[in-house]
Amino acid sequence: MSERPIRRDFASRPADPEHWIKAADVAPEHHPGAMFTARLTIDVTPDLRGRIKVAAFLRGVTVAEMMRDLLAREFPPTSGDQP
């Protein structure tokens, strides 16, 4: 039986923390097609989750797309924010 490789880098700390922290500041042109995103986790009841999924399906979009649009409408950029 073959052994699974151990992923030591998963929880390892970076050798240079300053570089690691600033890595998110890299402009997208250095990584074509990449857009910086952050995952948002919320707790909802199973009933609400079902209603959200059905609404997204009926609209022909994914739940993620629908929620991004909803959040963008509810929290538009202010004059000091960058797009």
pLDDT of residue 26: 56
Is the residue at 26 inside a domain? no
pLDDT of residue 11: 58
pLDDT of residue 39: 85
10-residue mean pLDDT profile of the chain (83 residues): values are 62 67 58 67 95 96 94 88 60
Is the residue at 69 inside a domain? yes
Round to whole Å and give the CA distance between 24 and 66.
25
- Number of structural domains the chain divides into: 1
Is the residue at 27 inside a domain? no
Q: Report residue 48 as tokens.
A: 């609400």
- Report how far apart, in Å, the C-alpha atoms of 68 and of each of 3, 11, 53, 59 are: 41, 29, 14, 14
Is the residue at 7 inside a domain? no
Global confidence as pTM: 0.51
